Structure 1
């Protein structure tokens, strides 16, 4: 029986733990772990024609990490339950593809990580004998995805904290979704910031009474379940586009580029891992706001994890080169409008910045100005990535951009840019006649502790 692949802590390489144990790490230090060995998927999968389905890709990715720890029949079941929705990949112009990650219950890419994490928690934690409880504080999309994911497991209580500060308040459409959740999902409002919510969660998790009375699980956007789910998305998109490139674009050997905002957790790490596992990914585009002068500081954890994986890569299988664009916030609406006019596709503001950067590369207009500067986000930062600076290579590039949030979450920006309100998926329909708010409130870690113990 093959054990799962072990992960080691880059802060202390002597600490090496198997994947199923890493799943139970409840703080963001889980993001400091990288696989000791990166499995390589067979060419029979990479170059399969027709390309494998998303579930087939997910099965191969997860099986290569979990190995015999999860029997194949169980793994098939977990994947089928975690990903019951479509994952469309389609071109919006001859050299740009979109992979839509917005067809889950929460309407965002976080549905993938949340749903598979929920399946793993149910699979591994239920064997402990103690009651299992989920505790989480996060953004509105992250919270909605997790709440929907755990709503399927009636014997797992889940408590979510959100900030009631008007500046950070959840959108009315998302708030209303909370009212429709089953009784074992508990949503608390907190008079404070998101940082305050997270601090309460960490303080409560460290309490001895809590640790002795329940199995507490605290998901994070950097959690390994999220990362591996995004690896599946990158791998699937690359294989789908590779199989279509000759037919759609007459490019027999495309240079595949993944484009994503730097603020999206795990995005670059997933692309690196997917490449190391055999995906034909040649580089990445990532974007930050022009006001972000030091991405390595503003997105410290994300950049740290990326550099960890970059350094971990074998020399003969180097990590993808990353072109970093700083964009002027005022140009985002223009990019959304331009995309709609040129392709008919309505995109969210986040991926509009990637669209803008990709157009600058392929049009040869990457000379820096104060609102459209470009640099390399690699270990060798003195030069641009080769695929950007080499004109011949650029002409063979095809960029894949994940749509990470449904445009309906940015309806005002979409309307301003395109004159169109995006259609709302049925499962996110807002009913103006429902005026209730989530009623539970929490003011301190002490209140949160008392609440959790009352559920035991």
Structure 2
């Protein structure tokens, strides 16, 4: 299998280069040259398969040209060590809980897959993994790569714009994990990482890669839990819609990948906070990056989502097809809090701010449909990761899982930096 750049379909590389380099030289994101469509009998068998059993077949269909079955099984076994329960919240409305992994966020799936695949593919040279995070990516990648031989992880995050618990999860590990607190916003961190990948002087001196969702090894495995959610639905007669809380849009793109592989999803909802460049685009405006704005759903505080171009690529760059399949909605902090409180009072279910945004998008979409449909919204992080917001909104006391509480008791270790690429380059050359 070859992988092409979203900026130039004629530029193609093999799996190793796509994973180890992460970003194409022309700043494009890599995409698989062909997307396999799974046979009809696979979907008939899905309800009887375990998460891992379906993972072997799905990942096998995507990577069998480059990896042995033993390697594919090892990847899946390393990735799928925890459940993703489908929980009914209301009649016809389900929450897909993706926060049962080591750092209690959906990115644990991709981070574990990525670290394992990189360890399989890397040369003997030491590898530096650069990561920009608006919250959960940092903790998932840090914990996924912690202690991996020959890999050093450098995480950039915006000062004061991630929750205290998220920050503790990636700033307290030490070892091969370094954290840089940047005086800026997430988009500044992401820009510095991209500049480093494209700096010929820097790349001549060290081997750099990314574990953000721009890397196919982080992005592709996220398609697995869409199949799993579908397999666990008690009834499948109605049209199915997934609502995805979206920041950098890798998670939504992974759902569309699953649909392109044959999963019967009728629609997707791209639900965001007031950082709404993609909902604006889906409603007829030109796609235009904007400075990100701070909200209570901070993992979605992204003004220039990298994976937008993957969304287009999945539809052959046909904007009309994308806009037919994906509907965009955005919500304020007040609307998010109101949804959290309403659902808690009416159903007893506790949503984090990101899940609440997805819930709102799902309900608005379903309310506009002429016929009933089944809806699944993604709960991407444990409510305890946003404890202050959740407790203040719901007037409750959350009990943190033991593994989250353990992070809070550790000492933060960070380097501080201005929003200055030359300073960041000097830092990389010094370590």
What TM-score do you get using the length of structure 1 for normalisation?
0.79
Structure 2 partner of 1:222: 214
Q: Which residue, 27, 36, 54 being the options, matches 1:39?
A: 36
Within 5 A, what are the aligned runs for 1:17-166?
17-27=13-23, 32-48=29-45, 50-125=47-122, 128-164=123-159, 166=160
2:316 counterpart SS class: helix
Q: Which residue, 379, 391, 399 being the options, matches 1:403?
A: 379
Within 5 A, what are the aligned runs for 1:293-312?
294-295=280-281, 296-298=287-289, 301-311=306-316
Within 5 A, what are the aligned runs for 1:39-438?
39-48=36-45, 50-125=47-122, 128-164=123-159, 166=160, 168=161, 170-178=162-170, 180-206=172-198, 210-241=202-233, 244-245=234-235, 253-289=237-273, 292=276, 294-295=280-281, 296-298=287-289, 301-311=306-316, 321-362=325-366, 364=367, 366=368, 388=369, 391=370, 394-395=371-372, 397-429=373-405, 436-438=411-413
Distance of 2:76 and 2:46 partners within structure 1: 22
Given the superposition, is the C-alpha separation of residues 191 and 285 from structure 1 closer, same or farther in structure 2, using an over 3 Å criterion?
A: closer
Distance of 2:344 and 2:45 partners within structure 1: 33
Distance of 1:290 and 1:82 partners within structure 2: 33
Q: Which of structures 1 and 2 has the bigger CA Rg?
A: 1
1:415 counterpart SS class: helix
Deviations 1:66-113 (A, max 9, x none): 113111112111221123222212222231111111112222111111
Distance of 2:133 and 2:70 partners within structure 1: 33
What TM-score do you get using the length of structure 2 for normalisation?
0.83
Provide the alpha-carbon RMSD of the alignment: 3.0
Give unmatched runs, 5+ long, in structure 2: 282-286, 290-303
Structure 2 partner of 1:376: none
Q: What is the Cα deviation at residue 159 of structure 1?
A: 2.1
2:19 corresponds to 1:14: no
Distance of 1:180 and 1:292 partners within structure 2: 33
Distance of 2:270 and 2:189 partners within structure 1: 29
Distance of 1:328 and 1:217 partners within structure 2: 35
Partners of 1:30 and 1:224 within 8 A in 2: no
Q: Which residue, 425, 440, 447 being the options, matches 2:415?
A: 440
Q: What is the Cα deviation at residue 145 of structure 1?
A: 0.9
Q: Which moved more, 1:323-332 or 1:28-37?
A: 28-37
Partners of 1:333 and 1:416 within 8 A in 2: no
Q: What is the Cα deviation at residue 64 of structure 1?
A: 1.1
Distance of 1:200 and 1:49 partners within structure 2: 42
Give unmatched runs, 5+ long, in structure 1: 246-251, 367-387
Give structure 1 regions of 4+ aligned residues with deviation exceeding 6 angstroms.
317-320
Aligned residues: 407
